[in-house]
Homo-oligomer: A and B are copies of this chain.
């Protein structure tokens, strides 16, 4: 309990006054830095607690030449207003919040609608954060490359590209796509379709990996169906696709959310999953195992991804070197295939 009556204590100056010491002493006492008599330190800390005083973080940071915050940017290159509904990104955000908090950083959340090529540099120059984590490179690869060349504390969640200069953490999407292909083949599926927006590099890689693991005859017949990553859009895309008379026996969806949309559309057409149609998703979001039927999917380890993003960022912040990391996805077989 704090009981701050009398004079309000709004700054270390106020506190110094009533403690009868100098501001620097108060500063030292409260930051536990610098040499200071044990008793004075404790006395001042108690006084601060009694008056409910806490150091003003903004001023502290200005003085220290830092902000104490890291930005998490969600570029909505083509899916305006949609990304945040994706459970995968949300789970990622949660883990990032935890990881950053553990290292004493605030998390500044911002959705950005990339306009032109200056949005990122412009954001950085405003000096609101010490570093930037970008979730999904969207179609902004060129912008990222340019910024990364002169700004170190920048990490991107997304597909690794050998040509990219920027630091990425992500799943090996090609391998994930191959996993999906192999699985559908093992299920005897040959008439296949891929649902997703291949202008997003991550999804493009999944598609490529998928194709690459298919024998030529099956590969040539794969149909590419454009679908955005929202449940509604995926559902609509699938409905249109089925309505046009297509009857594949295996579908690889670029994300679990898309897979659920596809299954919902299939159910309406009385196509039985998995009897007539095998569906496999990507991500393994928490709801994947609750969906009906439980979703076969390619799992990405989100928690690990978040931890890695923060770790690499902190290395860069400390002036150390850091390298892109790509980890292997894992096939999770449930009942939709």
**A interface residues with partner B (beta carbon < 8 Å):** 1-2, 52-59, 61-62, 67, 69, 72, 81, 83-85, 87, 90-91, 93-94, 97-98, 101, 106-111, 117-118, 121-122, 125-128, 230-232, 234-235, 257, 260-261, 263-264, 267, 286-287, 289-294
- A128/B292 contact (C-beta < 8 A), A85-B90, A108-B107, A231-B287 known: no
| Distance in angstroms between the alpha carbons of A93 and B231 in the assembled complex | 18
- Least CB distance from A207 to B in Å reads 22
Residues of chain B with a CB closer than 8 A to A110's CB: 97, 101, 106-107
| A128 pairs with B57, CB closer than 8 A | yes
Q: Enumerate 23 A-B pairs (CB-CB under 8 Å) in ascending A order.
A: A1-B117, A2-B118, A2-B121, A52-B125, A54-B125, A56-B127, A58-B61, A58-B62, A58-B127, A59-B62, A59-B127, A83-B94, A84-B91, A93-B109, A101-B110, A106-B128, A107-B108, A108-B109, A230-B286, A231-B290, A235-B290, A261-B290, A292-B292
**Nearest CB in chain B to that of A230: its residue:** B286
Q: Give the most central of A69, A81, A87, A97: most B CB within 10 Å.
A: A87
Q: Chain A interface secondary structure, helix, strand, loop or mixed? A: helix
Q: Give the most central of A53, A286, A289: most B CB within 10 Å.
A: A286
Residues of chain B with a CB closer than 8 A to A52's CB: 121, 125
**With A58-B127, A90-B90, A291-B291 already in contact, 19 other A-B pairs whose C-beta atoms are closer than 8 Å:** A56-B126, A57-B128, A58-B67, A59-B62, A81-B94, A84-B90, A84-B93, A85-B87, A85-B286, A87-B87, A87-B287, A90-B93, A94-B111, A97-B110, A106-B108, A107-B110, A260-B287, A260-B291, A264-B294
Residues of chain B with a CB closer than 8 A to A53's CB: 125
| B291 pairs with A54, CB closer than 8 A | no
Residues of chain B with a CB closer than 8 A to A61's CB: 58
**Nearest CB in chain B to that of A111: its residue:** B97
Residues of chain B with a CB closer than 8 A to A264's CB: 289-292, 294
| A109 pairs with B107, CB closer than 8 A | yes
Residues of chain B with a CB closer than 8 A to A81's CB: 94, 98
- A58/B128 contact (C-beta < 8 A), A90-B84, A292-B291 known: yes
- Least CB distance from A96 to B in Å reads 9
| Distance in angstroms between the alpha carbons of A54 and B93 in the assembled complex | 28
| Distance in angstroms between the alpha carbons of A261 and B57 in the assembled complex | 43
| B126 pairs with A57, CB closer than 8 A | yes
Residues of chain B with a CB closer than 8 A to A55's CB: 126
**Nearest CB in chain B to that of A108: its residue:** B106
Q: Give the most central of A61, A83, A84: most B CB within 10 Å.
A: A84
| A85 pairs with B91, CB closer than 8 A | yes
Residues of chain B with a CB closer than 8 A to A72's CB: 109
| Distance in angstroms between the alpha carbons of A234 and B267 in the assembled complex | 24
**Nearest CB in chain B to that of A259: its residue:** B290
